[in-house]
Chains A and B, each alone.
Chain A
Amino acid sequence: MIQFILLFSRQGKLRLQKWYTSQTDKSKKKITREIIAAVLSRKPKMSSFLEWKDLKVVYKRYASLYFCCAIEQDDNELLTLETIHRYVELLDKYFGSVCELDIIFNFEKAYFIFDEFILGGEVQETSKKSVLKAVNDQDVIQEEELEEKRSVLEDLGLA
């Protein structure tokens, strides 16, 4: 199971975090700090795996963002790399050539996509199409509601 996932920039700024274990805010911050420091200090020639406490941390850098996944001892590290890659592909497809700014300004969308791909720390859907369809369908519902709201407010002269 994935225990948590962190996305952060090369300067160490957190862009996304998802925790599948219960932790206090304080301990989340501490863990985040430690892991960011550990990953940023890795040299390019090193492997993508870190041991951290009793977990394995799998990380991969895509452009200016580090994608970091903490998995348990009996999880397959190489598969986790594929999981991370799949998520990046989903983001790429959704945003059209994704870059860090997309994730910064649309962080909630990044979360929505993630939640359609992984649930409770486990992969729920391996078809890219299905994941993106679910996200798009929900976006459509949101847009329809927004249209509705706008027209109501216009009617009332409040828009």
Chain B
Amino acid sequence: MKFPDLSMSNPVRLRELIRQIRSAKTAAEERAVVQKESAYIRDAFRDEDNTWRCRNVAKLLYISLLGYPAHFGQLECLKLIASTRFTDKRIGYLGAMLLLDERQDIHVLITNSLKNDLNNSNEYVAGLALCALGTICSPEMSRDLGGEVERLMKSANVYLKKKAILCAVRIIRKVPEQFDVFQNSVRSLLSEKHHGVLLTATTLITEMCQQNTQALQVFRNLVPNLVRILKNLIMAGCSPDHDVSGISDPFLQVHLLRLLRVLGRNDNEASDSMNDILAQVSTNTENSKNVGNAILYETVLTIMDINSESGLRVLAVNILGRFLLNTDKNIRYVALNTLLRVVHADQNAVQRHRATIVECLKDADVSIKRRAMELCFALMNKNNIRTMTDEMLDFLGTCELEFKSDCTSNMFLAMDRFSPTKQWHVDQMIKVLTTAGNSVRDDIVSSLIGIISSTPDLYGYAAHQLYKKMQNDITQQPLVQVASWTLGEFGDLLVNQQPQNEENLRVVEIEIIDILERILNSSLSTVITREYAINALMKLSTRFPNCSDRIQSVMTYYACNMNLELQTRAVEYTSLFTKHNIIRSSIVERMPVLISNQTSNTNSSEPEESIINSKENSPVNGKHEHVPSDEPINLVNILDDHIQTTSGTLNPNHSSSLFNPLEDPLFDFDTPTNPTTKSIPSMTAIDKNGIRMIFTFERDNTTLTINSKITNSTQYSITNFIFKAAVPKTFNIDLYPASSTTIPTNNSGDIQQIIKITNPNREKIRMRIKLNYQLNNTNMSDEAELNTFPEQCYN
């Protein structure tokens, strides 16, 4: 290979250097060539060689493109710019744009040269200066040279005019205050005929309007001018030089549409004056090639963003619908993206294209899939929930890992909102768990548990379904966690209530214990799963008394486990078998309906705490039947401090104490502030049209918990029941999700809902409530003002 000639003769030509570098066979060879030449160039610069500076800088620029350092050439670029030769300036400005930017201090040295060149009589020299200014100007340069740029904007020379305008764009981006310098000159630009000037002027006005609301109002009256220019463009069909595939200057069209969008936003008058032209562009633009579609796309964006009439909006959505059917994937992508932005505003219009959107779920492009998935979720409503859920389950089974957790979370949300029946809900959720494997988020597990817990009639069914799924596979953690909890709580129901049509699948107690033990012992189970399993086993010790010994031995075995959490639990459970056997049944008895927090709150993954923190509000559990005896009452009392009953069956005052749990570090509960167990009378909130709402109260200092129970004494069932409540500003109200939105007829069932009110000032509680529901398919609405809260609620 040839090394560059280091003799006194002329430096290597640029082309020759490129050839040499390219012929290097290894990276090391290339580096050697480059370094030698680089050193030569550095020497040449030091020797202040005017003749070949240009060539050397050009070579340096090539080297820097390859990734090698070239900062020592910065000053040389400045010298080239200062030269009188056009060739020098051309390379010098190129070098400046590539090697210099605002960060270097050096580049302010350019300002003087720029000023001179901007005034040069040769338009191409001035052009070079404008180009450099537009690329690398800093705030200081903007201030110094803004005036020059403005002068050139008014030049008769269109070549300089358009460059100056784009310089102005750059300047006001850097220094918004400079807007004042340019605002007056801008208007007249729109009456030019030259496409370059029109295009750049449109860009400048758009930039001004986006930065400055004052400018926006001033320029709004330009809308008729813009409409006219656009119209002429479409109709005239002149100027083949600006055409692309027969469409007149698409760049200008798109920029005009964009400016119209900015001006029409939130302004009815401006929007009205655009309606016609937008309709015209939408219908007349050829959509067979990308060019036409680019214009249509911009038109759609504009229509959707301004206050356009509904006919136009439907037209826009239909254009997007056609885009979805286009074979060009770029167009499909753009359509899905835009639909995502408009779906909430125009859901009905978008619903029409649902089938096509579902097809896009199978696209090869990941971005298209993602957008299609988000759109599908946005389009779910109670009419299409069943079919859509099936589609999404298919998708879930085949999609990439990155989608799975989002998909499952959204599916749960959708099912939560739109499930037709509880059983369907539980079935689908189980399907999602089995399909999604380990991609389900943690909070989904707890909300799923909450949902199962809130459907008492499905306890046995849910347990059975989950058990069946677990038989095949215990490696999917979320499924196993939910299943363990369900089996633990409702294993007895599973064994006793076998579904009628599956006689041959009678599940026996032993099998349930087996599977839970397997999960507990499996190395594939995470620690959290094992915690679920060990809890479940404990609960079953009372539900399956015959297996109690076996469970006890499991606990004893785990009392030596290396994992601290498991060990702690095992030890505690073992003591529940031995020292505290008497209260074991009350500890692990069936939980009341869980207050399922919103899915956004991460419920603690330890369901155990729910036992301690749950409030009793229904006679479902058997707590009332178990009156604990004196001896271990202390333990129960600590739990009691968190569990408050309205009937006050438990005596909070204890006399003897075996050990004081408050001092025992194993039980580290917060001592409650001022638990009030005296009973507060209940109150009828509303009794109207057959709907009766009764409030029962529990109070903890400044927090009042209201358990609301709503019954329906009519012969028609009530559906879509929504309860709203408002309190004065000094209070804080929290409405927990209701147990259901349907009240069966003739007082055969009820809706329960928890309301929490914080009353820091201990003021008299006032509340305004509103009920919306459907009775026999008619929409009803009731309101009431509640002033008669019992004194004990707040005093």
A-side residues, CB < 8 A to B, are: 1, 14-20, 22-24, 29, 43, 45-51, 74, 76-79, 81-83, 86, 104-105, 107-108, 111-112, 115, 119-130, 134, 137-138, 141-142, 145-146
Contacts and interface: CB of A to CB of B under 8 A. Distances in A.
B254 A76 contact: yes
Contact of A78 (B90, B127, B334, B367): B334
- 8 shortest A-B CB distances, which residue pairs? A78-B294, A120-B134, A45-B364, A120-B170, A46-B365, A47-B333, A125-B196, A119-B166
A81 B330 contact: yes
Contact of A126 (B135, B166, B252, B329): B252
A134 B333 CA distance: 37
Contacts of B582: none
A105 B15 contact: yes
B103 A47 contact: no
Interface stretch (B39-47, B57-65, B597-605, B759-767): B57-65
B196 A130 contact: yes
B323 to A, nearest CB: 10
Given A45-B364, A76-B254, A16 B65 contact: yes
A124 B199 contact: yes
A78 B299 CA distance: 12
Contacts, number: 155
A134 B90 CA distance: 13
B251 A82 contact: yes
Nearest to B131: A115
B364 A46 contact: yes
B366 to A, nearest CB: 7
B103 A24 contact: yes
A11 B370 CA distance: 29
Contacts of B22: 104
A20 B170 CA distance: 10
Contacts of B239: 127
B203 A47 contact: no
Interface in B88-105: 90-91, 94, 97, 101-103
B252 A78 contact: no
Interface string B116-141: 00000010100100110011100000
Nearest to A17: B65
A126 B242 contact: yes
A54 to B, nearest CB: 15
B90 A124 contact: no
A69 to B, nearest CB: 13
Interface string B41-75: 00000000000000000100110011100000000
Interface of B: 15, 18, 22, 58, 61-62, 65-67, 85-87, 90-91, 94, 97, 101-103, 122, 124, 127, 130-131, 134-136, 159, 162-163, 166-167, 169-170, 173, 195-196, 199-200, 203, 239, 241-242, 244, 249-252, 254, 258, 290-291, 293-294, 297-298, 301, 329-334, 364-368
A138 B124 contact: yes
Q: SS class of chain B's interface: helix, strand, loop or mixed?
A: helix
Contacts of A81: 290, 294, 330
Nearest to A139: B90
A20 B293 CA distance: 27
Given A120-B170, A128-B241, A45 B329 contact: yes
Given A47-B368, A126-B249, A126-B251, A119 B131 contact: yes
A79 B294 contact: yes
Given A119-B163, A141-B86, 4 more contacts: A19-B101, A77-B334, A122-B169, A123-B251
Contact of B365 (A18, A47, A82): A47
A10 to B, nearest CB: 16
Contact of A107 (B65, B251, B294): B65
Given A49-B367, A119-B134, A22 B251 contact: no
Contact of B367 (A51, A83, A115, A138): A51
A153 B86 CA distance: 18
B285 to A, nearest CB: 12
A29 B254 contact: no
Nearest to B198: A126
Given A82-B290, A108-B61, A127 B242 contact: yes
Nearest to B296: A78
Contacts of B258: 74, 76
A104 B333 CA distance: 33
Contacts of A83: 251
Given A119-B167, A125-B162, A129-B241, A82 B135 contact: no
Contacts of A111: 94
A81 B330 CA distance: 10
A3 B244 CA distance: 24
B298 A79 contact: yes
Contacts of B159: 130, 134
Nearest to A133: B159
Given A78-B334, A105-B15, A126-B252, A138 B90 contact: yes
Contacts of B244: 82, 86
A122 B200 contact: yes
Q: Which of A19, A111, A125, A145 has the most CB of B within 10 A?
A: A125
A26 B191 CA distance: 45
A99 B712 CA distance: 80
Nearest to B370: A51
Given A49-B330, A76-B298, A145 B87 contact: yes
Contacts of A128: 241
A134 B251 contact: no
B86 A145 contact: yes
Contact of A77 (B87, B196, B199, B330): B330
B102 A22 contact: yes
A112 B291 contact: no
A122 B203 contact: yes
A37 to B, nearest CB: 15
Contacts of B251: 79, 82-83, 123, 126
Contacts of B200: 122, 124
B86 A78 contact: no
Nearest to A51: B367
Contacts of A137: 124
A112 B90 contact: yes
Contacts of A47: 329-330, 332-333, 365, 367-368
Contacts of B135: 18, 20, 119-120
A45 B330 CA distance: 10
B101 A23 contact: yes
Given A79-B254, A122-B169, A108 B91 contact: yes
